[in-house]
Structure 1
């Protein structure tokens, strides 16, 4: 009993205590690694949500700017307006139509309003209240514009230009004369509930929450009413004022990961809060496994101590027997040398001790050595650019495929050489097997499927292992085959084993297609580059992704092509380059690094051109729209009808048309009608009533009013002057 106790104490000190220390250190390091990975992962998701949300903010500001510079808005704001005058009433009606057109397709905008100080006039797409009740005093508005001269965002329930404190976001753009005198402003009111829902949908963590805070730390948009400011989130202002940050916090005894990023447009802070429950579950599993492993070592030490105390197990004797076995192998190796005709001292041979497994082991050593020497010295093949780690991964993957699709009941030995080919030796104890041709076909199909990755040839040899001569025959047969290069064959599919190369490709952990789409539309070059670089890291992280990288990168190129078509990109060389790269990807890019470098450079070139060129040339949809107006102006046509015919959105067509022509759709139709009227007045004797009907006006009075507005004379006066 004393001996057992002493042995157990020795093993406990030598094995258990060091193991316990190593496990404790490993657990702490694993915990830190998992938490850091989770925090960084959440932070990256928040950054993607920020890009998408910033695109909404950017679009709102662009809409406000386009409204402010619209011709009808400028006329309303800077010219004298009498609401009782019919012509001036038409101007206000045009203002209303302009704002309504800008709202089409923007699901998060609730209303657009414009206010003129001089007349105390408020025009809104919503039901307009009395200006005296709704709008604050001119002095207050002047102070607000002095604090933020050009624009200001008003958060929900904050004081803005209205007397009432609205529960929605408001964006205000002030308008001035040439001498910086305030004349009015444009207000865009967002739907806070829809906006909140939209940004939380962009934040794809289902068990997390996304908040928006202003620069003071007040939460202006909160997914949980319990949190009103950063103090409720247990974060300090020093941590909060950074552009980006993330850490772990504790609220009411519960641990959370919190991340912060800053908007590129109005310095809002996007803050996410996610429960650490998922991480804690992983750590609990690791902790339980550690305890079980420790218990196993404890039991093993106890049993080992008992076996040693009873003399059942003696490691000294085992080591001695192993050394004697090595001497035996040397004798058997010398025997094999004798079989090959080499000079060997017969006194070194112990022939009667030779048995079959040892013969095989010796032959395999010679087999691998001689084949490798033959391939490396006698034949010159194309080399590959794989690292040692990649070779190991490829070797293991191929081994698993061999076991899955060829055999599990044969002994397999194969040999991989990056400069040459994959060699497979199958051994069987059954010399009468009839499926050898099928096995060779399956192996060759596997080799063909690996060629796009490895550029290696393949060779298979099948031999019986019932005798020493069987192994030797297989070895000699293989040497003969290696003298010839195998011809390339068509890619095959093994239906019997359901092996299809590149069948259902494994999805990446994140939706990079959506992220890149959002970043392109937000015109954020840095965000686009960050997404491509992160995609490269993810694809390189796993052999399966890396071996199929062309699939994931072609998806990225497809996203870029779709975006360029959408904005009607006009440089044929760039369009041809990206389309050719997509169609000839496997030939053009041999590595992930090449594909990443080209994609980053191409996106940079695209953004540089768009920035330098200003992109003001007429694009295809606008040309088609103008052609449609020229052909159909005499009918009651609308922007919605033209957009449907061109199969594009109304908001996109409205914006593109205004950007390219300088006026909106309705104004262009009116100009076309008046141009046609002038032609008819000069070239025909038709009456004013006939001309009005010919160009699509329902009443002569309406045609006369629009003609005078644009030409400063009536149609009759114009005809007399001509």
Structure 2
């Protein structure tokens, strides 16, 4: 009796443990799922925080790039100013009429800092005269570098060397301490030389207060041990955005910066740091920001603490609730177990109570149910394998097909069959894990919609991620109306898939067959019809017997090829694109070429590109690597269309290279023309024909080219150049109007006077008198 009570007590404890353990397992499972979700959430939040930080840095970089582009525009306008150009050769600025030039220069220079707060001030430094000009003021080198802008690291001699020995184009001097009119500043200096490469005549120096740059990056919180720098394309420090940081040393190995932008986590001085960087495509500068990881991910760490706290509370509360539920639910079961144990010999066998009940009451039922479930699970696999063999034509005789048909639980004898292939568009725009998951879901839903539409008239079988084979089954008396029945069901399904899944479906339908072994032929016919429908980029369905028959000749005559080559060499992208579209419509849409003929056509197109390689000195490997795709591609209309798109992209690449070559030549040519006009404008015989002869181009091309590049006519530019020089002479020289007209290139003073009055509203004599009184 004592032993029986001990066994019962032990059984009650086991029963309680059996009920408690599932609750605890469920609780731990929920905790594990929550932990995985938590991990993904933290990763996403960290990614969002770093991306937000990167976006802020990118925005600041873009603003600074636009500011620098404004400086480039300002310096280009100043470099093209006639007064600045004419003052370049002056060596004695205070001799004769040069004094009036200085006064005119002081008056005419526009004060850009009034409209652009990024510009602290700008100065034009001339090499020959050693004069410095700014809006409303002029200085000698010695006075300027001692009283106006005293650079701690450069004196007037160093500046003279910098101006005379190098031609600076959009060059930025790193931030350095400068005494501007007695006040200390940290300045960046933007340099743009005047004159010509190899013969600099001076420099335009734009002063930028480093505080203005720091304002652009003020959204980047670099306190609490952070730092930020701007590096040029050689890795040298242009500006430090962190007050108090050293300018000659970056606390990070810049060699680790890979790519145009990124985020790197590293311990610097035993402190976890997050380094964010981005490189400018405008000037190659690198923007580098380092912040303590705890600062950047402060919000993430706060969320982590909250989640950990609530997880611990949830775990303790869950264990307590699981204990209560297990105790309450075990009470009625314990009574049943005690009753069964009293009437059986389970005590001697030490059997588990719940296991004993399961074995004696429902053992046979469970075993039978298990066997039935296993058989039912195998049936879909057997049917799928059977249909695959049917579609692929792997049955030698109808008898073998009929035997296996009964084995999978189907009776399709004496029926007529038709195969249709359904293609879902929307699965070929690139893949990601989220997109694949979404497309899998849509594919399953689309398959289910097809099954519901078929009802008992057929079966659906997967043949690809975006394609289904549909086997329609009809009785013999329905064969005459099978087309209408098939089209009706597919039309209904197509509308449902389009409305609910936002996918476009395309169908290819084969012919009717009367035997199971003929299904493979109907399948191949449906595939060919579907490929033709995809090839033509059409929606809906196409029957095999509607396919065109003439598919053996492609269109690409010799004159079209010659024209295409000439257009590509000329860089005419519009005409090349138009011609390629015509070839596409003719060969892909109208002719419906067979696969072998289409390959011949594509090889012919690639051969046209190969002919261009030696003529334009292009990179042959680029074309050969793209052409190699055709050999490895599968024989499908979709792969042929994609290969033609590669041909189109390669022609686009050829046109872009041709245009780039033309553009570089155009810049050199316009500089040559303007330099010639600057030197020879005094020649009265200088005209469009003479300039065209000197540079050996036609005058028609010269006229059009000059208007395209400068925005004004050749004659208007020459007249403006002569008039600007005439104004200078009228204001500052003692020459007569006749002498001035002859000096600036006019053969007749009357012609000069009429042109001057037309442009300035007064005659040269009146203009000279007014300016003499003004400066006299």
TM-score normalised to structure 2 length: 0.46
Q: Rg larger in 1 or in 2? A: 2
| TM-score between the two structures when normalised by the length of structure 1 | 0.49
